[in-house]
Amino acid sequence: MTQDFDLFRLSEEHEMLRESVRSLAEAKIAPFAAAVDEEGRFPQEALDALLANDLHAVHVPEEYGGAGADALATVLVIEEVARVCASSSLIPAVNKLGSLPVQLSGSEELKAKYLGALARGEGMFSYCLSEPEAGSDAAGMKTRAVRDGDFWVLNGVKRWITNAGVSEFYTVMAVTDPSLRSKGISAFVVEKGDEGVSFGAPEKKLGIKGSPTREVYFDNVRIPADRMIGAEGTGFATAMRTLDHTRVTIAAQALGIAQGALDYAKGYVRERKQFGKAIAEFQGVQFMLADMAMKLEAARQLTYAAAAKSQRGDGDLTFFGASAKCFASDVAMEVTTDAVQLLGGYGYTRDYPVERMMRDAKITQIYEGTNQVQRIVMARNLP
């Protein structure tokens, strides 16, 4: 009996995409990564490079002016950018997170307007789900949207919003019928320039310092009724469907961070000499590197399989998306921690990139659902 094993090998087109994004990332993004982290500033150089090469939102379908890349191609873009700068990888990742609800549930008019604007580089997209008192319990949100003729009026606060203040467009989940809990939540597109929209100060974070995280305030924000995404009351379901797909992109980010740390550590241990020979020749070091590479490759295979399921819309995507995000982020934390260990005292300093990678890796275990929440999701969706 023979079997086609192509599932476990990237296509030539995907390999070419990886190579081109890696070259771009190393040339145009990596040189600024340390400064972006040190200064806590938005990676404008990365955005410019991604826009110039149409890599800022590759998931947007061709009919709306996008590249029409599949889910695996999107993963590869995020992975390769994250390999040199995790903050910069949140540009393509959060553009997908913010705009996917429109793509999944929006009207054709909404898709044409906002996916088209995103594809043309007219603004980034952010995703507003979490609130000060509604994190893991997202259905407990308090932001309200009240119908007023041909408009909806939004009031509330969203917290932990990635790229807030920089993005032009925001997918916002708000309660339209408080009596229905999750079935009373609807989704809307809000623009940065809408009257009543404002932003809090950037959070002072452990990692991904180049990607601003702010609160977003809605003070009697009046938007046209046709900016609702899908039917009234379907917002929470759309939000959860979105996360099934975009948790795969967080896994991709984790892969990239871990790969960057492993690559740097490999080079270091081959050059660093102690007791008269390169420390790479010591078995203890070799075992650490072997474990790092083994776990990273396992995470990669799981992530790519989840991306394929995302592209097909498989019924077990919820399980695989949660699994990939959880496993890859745990691996990224372990691999980056081991990379710091392999560099010894140097790894603990900001003169070397692995301490930044270790700090950046931590958030992948937390956002888009903590890894504890991922395990709940997996347990409820066992194949």
DSSP state of 92: H
Rg (CA), the chain: 21
Q: Match 């890599």 to its residue by tokens.
A: 55
Q: Match 């992109």 to its residue by tokens.
A: 249
Q: Which of 79, 131, 355, 368 is catalytic?
A: 368
Residues 6+ apart with CB under 8 A from 369: 136, 243, 247, 322, 325, 377
Q: Count CB neighbours of 312 within 10 A.
A: 11
**Ordered DSSP codes for 206-220:** SS-TTS-EEEEEEEE
Measuring CA to CA, which residue among 292, 254, 267 is closest to residue 347?
267
| Residue 333 · residue 256 · CB < 8 Å | no
Q: Count CB neighbours of 275 within 10 A.
A: 7
DSSP state of 232: T
b/e string for 23-32 if b means 16 or more Cβ within 10 A?
ebbeebbbeb
Bridge partners of 223? 152
| Residue 263 · residue 83 · CB < 8 Å | yes
The span from the first CA to the last CA of the chain, in angstroms, equals 26
Residues 6+ apart with CB under 8 A from 281: none
**Distance set, CA 287 to CA 267, 275, 280 (Å):** 16, 19, 10
| Residue 164 · residue 216 · CB < 8 Å | yes
3-state secondary structure of 197: strand
Residue 79 appears among annotated catalytic residues: no
| Residue 299 · residue 251 · CB < 8 Å | yes
- Active site amino acids: 368
